[in-house]
A = this chain, B = another copy of it.
Amino acid sequence: MKITKPTLILNAAVCRANIARMVNKAQSQGLELQPHFKTHQSKQIGQWFQELGVYKITVSSLGMAQYFAASGWNDITVAFPCNILEIDAINELAKDIALTVLVDNSDIAELLNSQVRNSISVYIEIDSGGNRSGIKPHQLEKVRDLANQISASDKLKFKGLYSHAGHTYGAKGESEIQNLANKSIEQLSSLKQLLLSEYPHLIACFGDTPSCSVLDSFANIDRISPGNFVFYDVMQSEIGSCQLQDIAVTVACPVVSIKQEENQLIIYGGAVHFSKDHSGKYGYGQVVEFINNGWEIIEGATLIKVSQEHGIIQLEDGLTSEFKIGDVIGVLPIHSCLTAECLRSYQTLNGELMDHY
């Protein structure tokens, strides 16, 4: 592992274990795993899913869908409110693969119907608590009208209901995740039940890493689409989705200066590498040292400040002498999705470069 500047390092064994655990959970619950690839955005990691029998995926942009379609994936859901301005990309992709998009209102369904050239599948997005996009689960008539509108089109295929319970990211601990997730799943399940007589093949897809990590039963949900679990991160460990040892990525950062009097290290690693996500307990990321083909937490070291490319690590008394300029230390990201997006390339502990969209 030769590091000269901030570099995202992947522990492939931990990552593969995270994937296997979620694949097994889905199998044991009779769910289809349709993983979200927005976190890793890498065709090699996609391959690791395929080796375990996963053939349908979720992404967050049409560009990402094009990237994965080019490496052989042919059943892709773009889990973002359908953007009609990208109709050319939608039409191109739908020629080659089974493409699914999300809609949450009749205007976009109408625009799609008039502009789509090839058949595409459509999930209606349900807002099961995140207050972001989607129809509220109690608005049955609105959902039914939209389902009817979609079904009346000869180019749009009504596939079912999709919901991302983003509000679980605000949970503190496993039992709070369970409460929030169970409520969301109940709402989605009831809605599915109410539509099943008209739409017997309707699929309910539910996805977010906290829920899918801690739940052991998913009512009559058919598919799950978590994404972050592939890497996890400090935020997920704080929420209660994982342990710190489940985190599969760290940012390797050169030590560029040492402030002896302040007990501080200055590292090459800042907001453009980690993003600015922050945790009260862990600062801008958990500091680790690289050892024996892995990493270990450095107790008494906190990344207290980041500017564009600088990071300041505060050390407890007596620790400063253990570091020298030119050392490389690691930072476990607070939010690995943003960190992977910032760095846009990564390598394994063995130095294998991973392709990234």
Contacts and interface: CB of A to CB of B under 8 A. Distances in A.
Interface of A: 3-5, 38, 60-63, 80-86, 88-89, 104-105, 107-108, 111, 132-133, 166, 254, 256-258, 266, 268, 271-272, 275-277, 305, 307-310, 312, 324-326, 328, 337-338, 341-342
B308 A338 contact: yes
Contact of A256 (B82, B324, B326): B82
Given A61-B309, A83-B5, A277-B276, A326 B257 contact: no
A60 B309 contact: yes
Contacts of A4: 83, 85-86, 88-89
Contact of A257 (B38, B60, B104, B258): B104
Given A4-B85, A132-B307, A268 B328 contact: no
B85 A328 contact: yes
A309 B111 contact: no
Nearest to A341: B272
A108 B325 CA distance: 7
A337 B82 CA distance: 29
A341 B275 CA distance: 11
Contacts of A277: 276
Contacts of A62: 5
A13 to B, nearest CB: 26
B107 A325 contact: yes
Given A82-B256, A84-B325, A133-B266, 10 more contacts: A4-B89, A5-B61, A80-B256, A81-B257, A81-B266, A107-B258, A107-B324, A132-B266, A271-B338, A275-B275
A111 B325 contact: yes
Contact of A81 (B105, B256, B308, B341): B256
A105 B258 contact: yes
Contacts of A81: 256-257, 266, 268, 310
A17 B5 CA distance: 35
A306 B305 CA distance: 22
A183 B300 CA distance: 34
A313 to B, nearest CB: 12
Contacts of A312: 132
A133 B257 contact: yes
A162 to B, nearest CB: 14
Contacts of A166: 307
